[in-house]
Amino acid sequence: MVMLKLAARWQFTCYKVAKKLRSHESSHRNTSRLHQVHSLYPGVAKCSLEGREGQTLVCDFQGTLLRTPSSSLFPYFMLVAFEGGSLLRAFLLLLLSPLFWVLGKQSEAGMRVMVFVTFCGLRTRDLDLVSRVVLPKFYLENLHLQAYQLLAATGKRVVLTAMPRLMVEGFLKEYLGASEVVGAELQVVRGRYFTGLLSGSTPSAKQKALKDRFGEVKADVAIVSPSNLHDHLFITYSKEIYLVNKEEAAAGIGTEMPRSKYPKPLIFHDGRLALLPTPTATLALFMWMPLAVPLSITRILMGVTFPYKVVIFIAAATGIRFRAGVVEDDNRRRGAGAECSRKGGVMYVCTHRTLLDPVMLCTGLQRPVTTVTYSLSRMSELLAPMKTVRLTRDRERDAAMMRRLLREGDLAVCPEGTTCREPYLLRFSPLFAELAEDIVPVALDARVGMFYGTTASGHKWLDPVVFMMDPLPVYQVEVQGRVPRHLTCAGGWSAAEVANRIQKQLADALGFERTALTRRDKYMMLAGNEGVSRDQRDGKKLPK
């Protein structure tokens, strides 16, 4: 704590000095000519999008396609340092953030220092993972709507950036359909590690890249930002120039990209940070860390030790906002045995947001319910306050096991097979519909503000601990009414039809969208494997 207080005081002092230095520098800099030139061109909102399919567009990434000003690239480097590096690397980058102000946020020296701290000694595969499964979420959330619409209307898209090319190229090509990405290059040693040195980040390198591509035939359209001192280079090599309004972009007025207009749906992403790590947010995060770990342990131990009725009050006292609702009274539903004609217990069919879903279901029902899971770490299994049973991914064995458990009592299952952070539901495995006639859908949702309690490429045994480290996590549990018997397999419906209907019911209850994606799709994208543990690889795996 003493170190964090000293770090906070150091940051505050350095920012005050840096602010004075920057204001003194700007008072002597003549920027009127730059703004005069920019005032000659219309805003990007006034640009017609029709008939541009055969045209070529050129623009910068930061400050133009991103609403984040080109002077605020720190959060994206912090994401690489935190998610791909270590806490120590991220903390060092935070301590040096005032230095970037002193050097000048758009200066080459500031960029080189930030790159060196972020990448020196970092493995190339770590950057590949972060740029593929972490950064796209934050890029999409900060995408400039009007600039993107103009970009999407053109046929060929050339994007330049002062950032390392490897940080943005995957996103620009996969999500924005960029034809070519020109950026600074990171030096690599032994083909595996970054040296932290950068080449091709100077304005002269940018001008050379533009001259090589558009020296003879100009680009049809260019988007420039008044806040970027080097964007005037585009004017020489473009026929039409359009400006992004930096005040509107900063305020988000008409420039925010709604989820419905994303170039492609953002369904899967990874990483632990749920917030954009600006210097202020990162400082708050590191100051919260010493409190977060003991708080998380306290929340978990109390949840395991105390009765369910007491746990709800403990959760509220420690900052967990738990919301439970029952559409149909559980006791009254249990008394409807004549209508039910069930063979055994109730099958609770839940959406899957975190590994704590079964725990929250039991808390909402105020009683333990046996849970079957597709994968569970030993740590999570030990901490679970109810009985947990692992599925083998062998259809026949799993079906026999679930039938036996249903004869013994109620059973909870998450047919998606894996978690999803975004407002989407994955495909529901129909196996549960074949085994039970008494089915109760349960809509679960979890929201966090600082840390995600799920991961595909990290340590899964830490998932419950990290979720409980969040200052104010929210958990919603809504137990739906029992599915009428005539709408189950006993009523003549196929298992797939029953599963799809329940998926739709839960999606409507949560306001989510349905997908046909599976656990395998998620892990192939985020981790490059099928999401099968080593213990399961030798066994027979059949689709459910």
Residue 229 has pLDDT above 80, yes or no: no
Give per-residue pLDDT as tens, 177-186.
999 999 999 9
- Residue 251 is predicted with a pLDDT of 53
- Residue 206 is predicted with a pLDDT of 83
- Res. 12 pLDDT band, cuts 50 70 90: low
* 488 Cβ neighbours under 8 A, 6+ residues apart: 433, 436, 437, 439, 498
> In a 10 Å sphere around its CB, with 0-12 CB exposed, 13-18 middle and 19+ buried, how is residue 28 labelled?
exposed
CA distance 451 to 454: 9
Give per-residue pLDDT as tens, 28-50.
444 444 455 556 788 888 889 99
Q: For residue 241, give both structure tokens.
A: 């120039």
Residue found by looking up tokens 């005037």 in the block: 232
- Residue 227 is predicted with a pLDDT of 74
- Res. 70 pLDDT band, cuts 50 70 90: low
CA distance 356 to 337: 30
For the segment 367-395, the average pLDDT, to the nearest whole number, is: 83
- Percent of the chain with pLDDT strictly greater than 90: 61
The residue with greater pLDDT, 533 or 391, is 391
- Res. 538 pLDDT band, cuts 50 70 90: very low
Residue 335 has pLDDT above 70, yes or no: no
For the segment 421-438, the average pLDDT, to the nearest whole number, is: 94
Q: Is the pTM of this model over 0.85?
A: yes
For the segment 255-259, the average pLDDT, to the nearest whole number, is: 87
* 441 Cβ neighbours under 8 A, 6+ residues apart: 349, 350, 480, 483, 502, 505, 506, 509
> In a 10 Å sphere around its CB, with 0-12 CB exposed, 13-18 middle and 19+ buried, how is residue 217 labelled?
exposed
Residue 199 has pLDDT above 70, yes or no: yes
Residue 6 has pLDDT above 80, yes or no: no
Give per-residue pLDDT as tens, 507-527.
999 999 999 999 999 999 998
Q: Are 361 and 344 in contact (CB under 8 A)?
A: no
- Percent of the chain with pLDDT strictly greater than 70: 84
b/e 390-426 (16+ beta carbons within 10 angstroms → b) = bbebbbeebbebbeebbeeebbbbbbbbbbbbeebbb
- Residue 39 is predicted with a pLDDT of 64
Give the helix/strand (H/E) hosting 149.
helix 145-153
Domain boundaries, the chain: 33-261, 279-536
- Residue 452 is predicted with a pLDDT of 97
Residue 333 has pLDDT above 90, yes or no: no
- Residue 339 is predicted with a pLDDT of 44
Distance between terminal CA atoms of the chain?
50
E strands, 68-192, in order: 156-164, 180-189
Residue 5 has pLDDT above 60, yes or no: no
Architecture field, domain 33-261: 3-Layer(aba) Sandwich (3.40)
- Residue 202 is predicted with a pLDDT of 75
- Residue 25 is predicted with a pLDDT of 44
For the segment 133-154, the average pLDDT, to the nearest whole number, is: 94
CA distance 206 to 185: 12
Residue 235 has pLDDT above 70, yes or no: yes
Average pLDDT over the chain, rounded to an integer: 85
- Res. 246 pLDDT band, cuts 50 70 90: low
